[in-house]
Structure 1
Amino acid sequence: MSARVFALVIGIDSYRSGSIWNLESAVSDAKSIKHWLVHHLCVPRHQIRTLLDGEATTANIENAFTSHLLDNPAIERGDAILIYWAGHGSSLLVPRSISGSLSARGYSHIDVLVTYDHDTKSPSGSGRISGISDRSMFTMMRALAAAKGDNITLALDASFSAPARSQNRGSVRWTPTVKATAENVIAGLWRVDDISAGEGFFRSEYDTHTLLTASGPHEGAVEGNDGGRFTQSLIRAAGVLPLHQTSYVDLISHMTSSDPSFDENHDQTPRSLGLHKSRIIFHALPFVADERFIALDAHPTSDHFRIEMGSVHGIVEGTELSMHRHNRRGSLNPALDSLKVLEVHATWSLARRRSRDGVQGEWAQITQKTPFQPKAYLRKHLPFRHAGGTGRAIQV
C-alpha cells in the first residue's frame, strides 16, 4: 500500500549569479530526503517532484507548487504534504517607502529562499529576480491549506542571517543579496495582496503548516561534504525513532539532544514551529499497517504465543519468527526476540519465544519456514472420496 504523501523537494548547490558562492551538499541532501520518502515511507516516485540546481528557478518552483501540489486532483484533503528546501537563504532591507505598516511594526527585513536565478536579471527586463520570499511562502501555505488541509510540513535547511563568525561563511547556507531590492521582491510576490502579512519564516502562530527549520532566526545552517547538519541529523533520527508515535517536537528534541555537533558549536539549533507541532509527523499517514506482520496473543501462564496463521497459510512446525512492538511501515521496529512454532492448526499456531525475559511485543514476522508442501497438507487434512461404482478410494 502506497503512502498518502506528496512532496516537492528542492536542492540547489550551483547558482547562476556570480555573486553567490556555490554550496557542496544541498543537492545530495535533497536526494537523501527523496530516498527516505521512497524507500522507507513507501511514497511512490510520481508523488515526489524534485527540482535540483538549474531546474530550481523561481518560476519553476512556483509552477511545480501549483501543478504538483495546489491543483493536483490526486491529493485529497488531509493527505500529507512535504515541501523540503536545501540551499541558501538571504534577507533584504525593507525601505521606509514600502508599506509604512512594515516599519511601524518593527520589521526591517524580508527573508528570501535563494532560487537558482536569484539576484539575476529578469527575462522580461523588469528588474531582478528575487527568489521565494517569506510573504510569498505565507500566501502559498495559506492557499495550499485551504485547498488540501493543514497536514503540511515545510522543512528548510537554509538560514537567513550572516554567520556569526566570518570563517564559517563558506560552510553556511546563507548569502547576501547584492543587486535585487525589496521593490524587486514585492514586484515578484506570489499572489500576495497584503505585504504586511507573513513577515519572516520563524512564526509560532501559523495554523496552515508545521515548520522544521535548520536554525533559529540569527543562526546559521551549517553544511559539510557529507550534507547539511540539519538534514543529516533528521535522516539519522528518522532511522532510530518510532515515527508513528513521534511528534515534530519530539523529533527536533531528539535531534538536538543526540547530535553532539549542535551542542559543541552553539551556533545552530533546529526548531519546530506552528500550532500543529505537537502532532505526529505527517499526522501518522505514511505509517500504515504492514501486512507481513502477524498478531500475537500471549498465553497468560506460559511463554507460549498464539499466532493468527496456521497450516492453510503455509505455517509448519519449526517455522521461525521475529517478535516486534508494532506493525507499522516506515517506523523503527527492531526485533525484540525470536519465536519457534511448536503446534500448528488450520488457521492458528502456537509458538514459544527463545528468551523468557525482555520486552514483549504484540506482532511477529516470519523469518524462516520449512517449504510448504500442499500435497502433504491435503493428505493430512482432506478425506478420501470414492470413485463411483469402483469401490476404490482415491486420494485427492
Structure 2
Amino acid sequence: MENYLHEDLGVPRDRFQLLLGPREQVYPKGSAIPSRKNIIDTLLSLITNPNIVNGDNIVIYFSGHGSNYSWFHHHFQESSNSDGPIDAVLAAGSVEALCPIDRNSPDANGCPIPDISDREINAVLSELSRVKGNRITLILDCCHSSSASRCLSESGIRSVTPLPRRCFRDMLVAADEKLKQFPCHRSVFADDWRPDTESHVLLAACREYEYAKEMEGDTGFNGFFTKSLIRTLTSGSVTEKSTYVDLVAALDRSGQQTPIAAGKHRNSKLRYQI
C-alpha cells in the first residue's frame, strides 16, 4: 500500500507514518511497532498535526488481525463475572476489534494489554473529521468473525480469538479514559452509542461473518484484499467518476470473502486514485 501511494500517486515519503511488524520491511529511518499505544498515539497525532489542513485526504491502512467480542462468548464462558456496563455493551451487539502486536502482553502494571475496539477507532476518527474534515479513508485488511475459533487452524486466516472478559472491560475503559480529552466526547458505554458514519469511508476486506485471507508472495504474506485493491486501482478500470462502491464492485473476489464499502459517503467519488 505504501508503494502504491508513493510510487503511483506521488505522495512524499515524509507524509507517511509507518508502524511495521517484524515480517515487514523496515526503512532506513526505521519505524515504530504497531503496539496498542503506538497505534492510538499515531491516530491522535493526526488531529493536532499542523501539516494536515482541513480538507486534506487522509488514508489510514491496517493490515493484520482482527477479533470480535460477543455476548455469547463472554456470557457462557465467564458468566460468574457479570458486569452491568460491560453486559450492556455486549447486549447491544458484538464489538469488533483490531489486534495490536502486543495484545495480551503485560503492561507496566502487569495487566494484559487489550485490543482496540471499533468504538475507540470510530470516536478518534469522528474527532479527526471534526478538526480536519471528512476526506478520510479507512482501509482494514483483517476480519472480525465471532466464530473464528472454529477455523484458527486454517492457513491464511486474519482473525484471532477474543481475549478474556477482563481484557474486554479494560479495552473499553482505556478507550473511555483516552477519549475524555475530546470536546465532543461520548462514552463508549453510553446506552445509545452509535457509530459516526459521516466521518470517514471504510473499505473492509470482508463482511463481519466472513474471513479475510492472506497469501504468500515474493515479499512474504500479503492480504488478498490489499493485492486486489491495488491491482484494481492501477488497472485503469476505475475512472475519475468512480465511487468507493464502484471500486469495491470492481475488485477480485475469492469464494469466501466479500469486500465492502461503508459510511454515508461511500457513494462519493474516490478521494485517491491515479
Query: What band does the TM-score fall into relative to the shorter chain?
Result: 0.7 to 0.9
- Does 2:242 align with 1:246? yes
TM-score, reference length from structure 1: 0.56
Task: Give the 3 Å change call, closer, same or farther, for CA 167–128 of structure 1 in structure 2.
Answer: closer
Task: Determine if the alignment matches structure 1 residue 186 to structure 2 residue 182.
Answer: no
2:21 paired residue number: 53
Alpha-carbon distance in structure 2 between the residues aligned to 1:200 and 1:155: 23
8 Å contact 1:134–1:198 — kept in the other structure? no
Equivalent residues of 1:92, 1:181 under 8 A apart: no
Provide the TM-score with structure 2 as the length reference. 0.79
Give the equivalent residue in structure 1 for 2:102: 117
CA contact (8 A) 1:247 1:277 kept: yes
Q: Equivalences for 1:1-396 in 2 at 5 Å?
A: 33-53=1-21, 55-67=33-45, 69-93=46-70, 97-99=83-85, 101-103=88-90, 105=92, 107=93, 109-125=94-110, 127-161=111-145, 162-163=147-148, 166=151, 169-179=154-164, 181-189=167-175, 190-191=178-179, 193-196=186-189, 206-226=197-217, 227-240=222-235, 241-255=237-251, 259=252, 261-262=253-254, 265=255, 267-282=256-271, 331=274
Residue deviations 1:185-213, cap 9 Å, x none? 12321416422469999x7x701110000
Amino acid at match of 2:240: H
Matched AA of 2:187: D
Residue type of the alignment partner of 2:105? T
Tell me how far 1:39 sits from its aligned partner: 0.7
Query: 1:90, 1:234 → 2: CA distance?
Result: 22
Structure 1 residues 164 and 199: CA distance shift in structure 2, 3 A = farther
Deviations 1:208-253 (A, max 9, x none): 1100000001100011103211111101100123442221000000
Secondary structure of 2:18's aligned partner? strand
Aligned 8 A contact 1:139 1:198 in 2? no
> Structure 2: which 5+ residue stretches go unaligned?
23-32, 76-81, 181-185
The residue type equivalent to 2:59 in the other structure is L
Q: Runs of 5+ in structure 1 lacking a partner?
A: 1-32, 287-329, 332-396
Which residue does the alignment assign to 2:30? none
2:112 counterpart letter in structure 1 = R
How many pairs align? 240
Contact 1:158 1:173 survives alignment (8 Å): yes
Contact 1:212-1:271 at 8 Å conserved across structures = yes
Q: Say whether the 8 Å CA contact 2:89–2:191 is kept in structure 1.
A: no
CA contact (8 A) 2:148 2:160 kept: no
In percent, how many aligned pairs have the same letter? Answer: 28
